[in-house]
Structure 1
Amino acid sequence: MTETPPAITTLRDLQRLTPARVGLGRSGASVPTAAWLGFALDHARARDAVHAPFDEVALAAQLGELGLRVDCVRSRVRDRHDYLVRPDLGRQLDPQALPGLQDCAGQGADVVLVVADGLSPQAVQQRVPSVLADLLPRLAAAGLTVGPAVVACGARVALGDQIGAALGARLVVVLIGERPGLSVPASLGAYLTYGPRPGRTDAERNCVSNIHAAGLSDQQAAQRIAWLVREALARQLTGVALKDDSLLEAAPSVSFDTAAAPLPRPG
């Protein structure tokens, strides 16, 4: 039986269904004080999320407890201000980190995991250990090998291309903090790139986004990432050519008895 969607007859009904700022009311030519203060608080939380410290040592220890070998690297950015004004440097590996990665290049794993601070280090600290705890058994069940987990500071998504190429990985998964919004300051994203190498474009990646408490759960994210990893390696591609049909995998099959329900004749 199909559930009847909740009726929306007032603005208050709509407010219960979305974190968006709707029906704030008016106070003269402006919004009420409570609405303005709520906006200012959410804006401050978003700014704080961008500038929050990234504890790569603690995160590396948590990933080690999952049985992963962990390496820590940096991009070419010098500090957080540098990261925000020079996104190009966040896509390039610190030259001093490259020799250590190249020492592991002969392993040639199916998947290499890159965990990057991005624009919300808080989201990475909160969500990555739980996502990987669910993802790793799924990859193992599919018979896939997982290389070292690389914790990257000052990183943009494209840094994973250089790291994946240095490690000789078939595919790289970058787990990174997404840009904070006024309703969600701590959201995680996952970017998958087959055949990682410098110069890959965003059109050659798949993304699983909005992994947070009010969005995609850690377990749902792990299921989608695992499906995309399997399909990407089987088809040898990622990006616009790989559609995320992971939800169909869990959908119940429907059979049609054409004898019992003949098609009507036209006319």
Structure 2
Amino acid sequence: MSPEDGWRRLAALTPARIALGRAGAGLPTREVLRFGLAHAQARDAVHLPLGVEAVRAGIAALGFGTLTAASAAPDRTTYLRRPDFGRRLDEASTAALTQAAGEPVDLALVVADGLSARAVHEGAVPLLSALKPALTGSGWRLAPVVVATQARVALGDAVGALLRARAVAVLIGERPGLSSPDSLGVYLTFDPRPGRTDAERNCLSNVRAAGLTPDLAAFKLHWLIDQALTRRLTGVALKDESDRLLAGPAATGMIEA
């Protein structure tokens, strides 16, 4: 096999930019153009406004109730420059969620724009659709799904606390990469309240058709929620061992005689 063939085989296995070739001392024109397109797509994903009503309609079609909320960041520019504002609810949302709260619930779900509204537009409803049967079968009490704008991950702590939830899962658009402007992240926190740290959360990343598929992400998230509610913890103390169930009895030593 020639070196060129070897590089081509490797390039076919990854979206990473390898084996791009050379034109003189630089890259081929096609690769320069591809890079420019990927960079533009990433920038667009960051600045694209969340279609709140469309997202709510998609979630409602699955049978979930919905609420809306906004962070203390009044606009996208402020949101990008002041991450701390994105971690706090604005006054109107705080009042609305306080009024909407009822009896304590097991789980609150937050769908947030984060740094890629595109990821939410394309991935939130498929993930919730895949997750719903497991939620229904578990019998957990659920709060209405909160669709949040100008939001960072920690906004879920305030939402979960106000809705009296034992745990909160935040589905949020991740920072776009140059090959993944549509990547959705999921952050699970037990006993949510302002002041929680990232070490107290579990994260599923790269949820999208070309990454962690919605079905597999839903499987893992359900496992993590179940363990969080049972063991009363999340974060570094809770390791994702859901793959053992996918691997079958042999993976856990439970081999039939």
**Structure 1-normalised TM-score?**
0.90
| Residue matched to 2:207 | 211
Q: What residue in structure 1 maps to residue 190 of structure 2?
A: 194
Runs of 4+ that moved beyond 3 A? none
- Deviation, 1:9, is 5.9
Q: Larger deviation: 142-151 or 190-199?
A: 142-151
Partner residue, 1:24: 20
- 1:148-199 CA-partner distances (Å, limit 9, x unpaired): 1100000000000001001110000000001111111101010000000000
2:236 pairs with 1:240: yes
Give aligned pairs, total: 250
Match of 1:250 in 2: 246
Matched, 1:50 2:82: no
For the aligned residue pairs, the C-alpha RMSD in angstroms reads 1.5
Equivalence for 1:263: none
Q: Does 1:106 align with 2:102?
A: yes
Residue identity (%): 52
Q: Which residue type is aligned with residue 21 of structure 2?
A: G
8 Å contact kept, 1:107–1:147? no
> What secondary structure, in the 3-state scheme, does the structure 2 residue paired with 1:59 have?
helix
* Unmatched 5+ stretches in structure 1: 1-7, 258-267
> Which residues in structure 2 correspond to 1:163-178 (within 5 Å)?
163-178=159-174
Instruction: Provide the C-alpha distance between the structure 1 equivalents of 2:103 and 2:132, rounded to a whole number of angstroms.
Output: 18
| Distance in 1 of aligned mates of 2:151 and 2:216 | 25
Q: 2:36 aligns with which of 36, 40, 43?
A: 40
- Higher alpha-carbon Rg: 1
Q: Could you tell me which amino acid in structure 2 is paired with residue 157 of structure 1?
A: V
Greater per-residue helix proportion: 2
1:97 aligns with 2:76: no
CA distance in 2, matches of 1:137, 1:87: 35
Report deviation, 1:28: 2.1
Secondary structure, aligned partner of 1:185: coil
Report the residue type matching 2:247 in the other structure: A
Alpha-carbon distance in structure 2 between the residues aligned to 1:195 and 1:174: 13
Question: Aligned pair 1:156/2:152, yes or no?
Answer: yes
Match of 1:82 among 78, 83, 88: 78
What amino acid maps onto 2:54 in structure 1? A
Instruction: List alignment gaps of at least 5 residues for structure 2.
Output: none
User: How far apart in 1 are the matches of 2:61 and 2:41?
Assistant: 31
SS, match of residue 237 in structure 2: coil
Q: TM-score, normalised by structure 2?
A: 0.94
Distance in 2 separating the partners of 1:214 and 1:45: 16
Aligned-partner residue type, residue 32 of structure 2: W
2:90 counterpart letter in structure 1: D
Q: Distance in 1 between matches of 2:24 and 2:247?
A: 51
Match of 1:131 among 122, 127, 133: 127
